Amino acid sequence: MRYFIEIAYNGTLYCGWQRQPNALSVQQVLEEAMSVFLRTPITVFAAGRTDAGVHARQLFAHFDFAELENIPETLYRINALLPSDISISSIKKVTDQAHARFNATTRSYEYQIQLSKNPFTTTLAHQIHKKPDLLLMNKAASMLLGRQDFQCFSRSNTQVNTFFCDVTMARWELQGSTLLFSITADRFLRNMVRAIVGTLLNVGFEKTSLEELSVIIDSKDRSSAGSSAPAKGLYLTKVSYPQDIFIT
C-alpha cells in the first residue's frame, strides 16, 4: 500500500530536506522516526527538496508499507518520536502509482520580510530597514508570469532537462510590518525563489529598472540577476495534486 504524508517543518537546524552524508536533514529525521515506529526501514520520496534553512508549511512525501491498521494512532505515535520542529499533519492512502514528486501539479512558496525588528521572527524572516517600492515590485513580479526560461534565477551548474517553468501567480503584499512575496508554478529550479526575491528587491530599491529586469530574464545568466535572499525567509506553503490519486 502507498501512502502520502503531509509534513511541516522549521528548517533552521537542518541542511535541507534531502539526506546528506555529513549533515542532519529533515528526510533523515523523518525516516528514522517512521522506521522506529513501523519496525522496518522506511524511505520517503518528497514532492521537492528545500535547501538548508528553508521551511515548509506543507510538503508531501510518499512511502510504501503493507497496511496501516490505525492511521490516527500512527500519526500520533510518529509525531511523538519527531522533534518539535518537524510534524506530520496527515497520512492518506493513495493509488499504487501515485508519486509525491511527479504527480504534483503546482507548488507555492512565500517569502517573508520584516520591515521592523521583531524578536519572534529572527530565524523565520529576512529583515530590512527600508521599505521598497511595492508598486514597482508588483510590476516586476507580473513579468514572471507564464511559461518561460528562468535559467537566470537558477543556481549555477544545476543539472536539469529544462529551465522552463510556468508561473501562474507572483505578487507582493504588505501585511502590517511584514512584506510577503507569494509565487506559484508547476515547478521551481534550485534557488529560484530566493534569486527572484533578491532581484525584485533591487527593482523595489530602484537599483534595477523594469527594462533591465527584462534583459536579465532574456540573458539566462545567473550572474546578471540579483543576490539570493537569505534562506530563513522562504517557506514552501502548498503542493497540489489531482484528487483521483487519493483513496477515500
Per residue in 196-238, pLDDT (tens digit) is 999 999 999 999 999 999 999 999 999 999 999 999 999 999 9
**Residue 158, pLDDT score:** 79
- Sign of the CA dihedral with 155 first, then 159, 164, and 169 last: negative
Secondary structure E strands in the chain? 2-9, 45-46, 55-64, 86-94, 106-114, 126-127, 146-149, 164-175, 178-185, 234-240
Give the separation between CA 70 and CA 166, rounded to whole angstroms.
Answer: 39
Domain 2-102 has CATH 3.30.70.580: yes
In this predicted structure, the answer to whether residue 113 has a pLDDT above a threshold of 90 is yes
Phi, psi (deg, nearest 5) at residue 244: -75, -5
Average pLDDT over residues 88-98: 97
Active site residue 133: no
Give the separation between CA 206 and CA 222, rounded to whole angstroms.
Answer: 20
pTM of the model: 0.95
Cell triple for residue 183? 509565487
35 band by pLDDT with thresholds 50, 70 and 90 = very high
Residue 101: alpha-carbon gap to chain centroid? 13
Chain region(s) in the chain for CATH 3.30.70.660:
106-237
**Residue 180, pLDDT score:** 98
Chain region(s) in the chain for CATH 3.30.70.580:
2-102
Catalytic-role residue among 51, 64, 96, 221: 51
58 band by pLDDT with thresholds 50, 70 and 90 = very high
| Nearest Cα to Cα of residue 138 among 72, 191, 213, 236 | 213
Q: Which residue in the block uniquely carries the three cell numbers 552524508?
A: 21
239 band by pLDDT with thresholds 50, 70 and 90 = very high
Task: Could you please state the CATH topology (level 3) that the domain comprising 106-237 is classified under.
Answer: Alpha-Beta Plaits (3.30.70)
Contact between 188 and 48 under an 8 Å Cβ cutoff? The reply is yes
Give the separation between CA 80 and CA 84, rounded to whole angstroms.
Answer: 9
Give the separation between CA 56 and CA 45, rounded to whole angstroms.
Answer: 15
